[in-house]
Amino acid sequence: MSEKHIDEISGVETTGHVWDGIRELNNPMPRWWVWTFYATIVWAIGYAIAYPSIPLITGATKGLLGYSSRADVTAELNVAKLAQAVYLEKIAALPLEQIVADKELEQFAVAGGAAAFKVNCTPCHGSGAAGGPGYPNLNDDDWLWGGDLQSIYTTVSHGIRYDTDPDTRVSEMPAFGDILEPDQIRQVAAYVVSLTGTPHDPAMVEPGKQLFADNCASCHGEDAKGGRDFGAPNLADAIWLKGSSETAIIAQVTAPKHGVMPGWNVRLGDTTVKELTVFVHSLGGGE
């Protein structure tokens, strides 16, 4: 069918195949290519002998070098765990002030606290800890119960109005719907509104001021700037836990709503609570 044929132009032998009169030159592979090819084969055989490679039923051949990537990872993890244990032991042993005084330790605690915050706290306080209605923003310096390390630690450990913990923070704003007349509630609400600089009818504000001094100042303070012993919010600023509208204020005074937060020391352990404290303290409002 086809016999040896030399291409006239290049002088190279062809493969003998003809497609529509077109023939293929039968050039040999370049030397360097062939040798590289052999080298890869030799390499592959060497590799298969030296390293685990051939799959068996319950594993693979071990290889002469006995290498295992799993053992490598385990070893690395152990080293990391040891390094962590050193930090965690220090956090467990040292008081909060000394933890934040040590930059490296503080960094470690903040990272650990941030991780624990993501898992446990974001459902209520938000992923950026900015809170929402009823849930305080933890980034600002407006604190209900206090923003120094010890106060934050107590809040996070024992929770707020968390019945199962005898050391929890408690306070209850009375339901003034049972104590004051509706008119008086409107007056005291008018006074509260006027505190944030929103003008309001003086005929309402004046009696409201007196009502406030008599009924509210004991918790919220004479100047309405809040009382941390009671977790009573500052009413003279633009930050509101429940709502800033007059309707919301009247609602809170008539029949107050109270926020509840679980205590975390039993669930997460003291070391994690310390890390969370350092993390929250580092967010910007720490005192």
- What is the binding site for ligand HEC (CB under 6 A)? 117, 120-121, 123-125, 134-136, 138, 143-145, 152, 155-156, 160, 171, 173-174, 176, 188, 192, 215-216, 218-220, 230-233, 235, 240-243, 249, 252-253, 258-261, 264, 276, 280
**CA dist., res. 177 & res. 46, Å (int):** 87
Contacts 24+ apart (CB under 8 A), 40-43: none
CB of 181 to ligand HEC, least distance (A): 12
Q: Which is nearer to ligand HEC, 88 or 235 (CB)?
A: 235
Q: Report the nearest approach of ligand HEC to the CB of residue 247 (Å).
A: 11
Q: How far is the CB of 119 from ligand HEC (least distance, A)?
A: 8
Expressed in angstroms, the distance from the first to the final Cα of the chain is 97
Smaller CB distance to ligand HEC: residue 63 or 262?
262
CB of 133 to ligand HEC, least distance (A): 9
Which lies closer to ligand HEC via its Cβ, residue 89 or residue 214?
Answer: 214
What CA–CA distance (Å, rounded) separates 111 from 108?
Answer: 5
Q: In this structure, are residues 99 and 91 in contact, taking their beta carbons and an 8 Å threshold?
A: yes
> Residue 21 contacts by C-beta under 8 Å, 6 or more apart in sequence?
none
Cβ closest to ligand HEC, residue 14 vs residue 273: 273
Burial class (CB in 10 A: 0-12, 13-18, 19+), 42: exposed
The C-alpha angle 136, 244, 214, rounded to 5 degrees, equals 95
CB of 95 to ligand HEC, least distance (A): 18
Contact 279, 136 (CB under 8 A): no
The CB-of-279 to ligand HEC minimum distance in angstroms stands at 7
CA distances from 255 to 12, 63, 236, 278, 286 (A): 102, 75, 21, 35, 32
What is the nearest approach in angstroms of ligand HEC to the Cβ of residue 91? 15
Q: Based on CB atoms, which residue is closest to ligand HEC, 105 or 235?
A: 235
Q: Which is nearer to ligand HEC, 14 or 143 (CB)?
A: 143
Distance, in Å, from the CA atom of 215 to the CA atom of 219, rounded to the nearest integer, reads 9
Nearer to ligand HEC, 36 or 218 (CB): 218
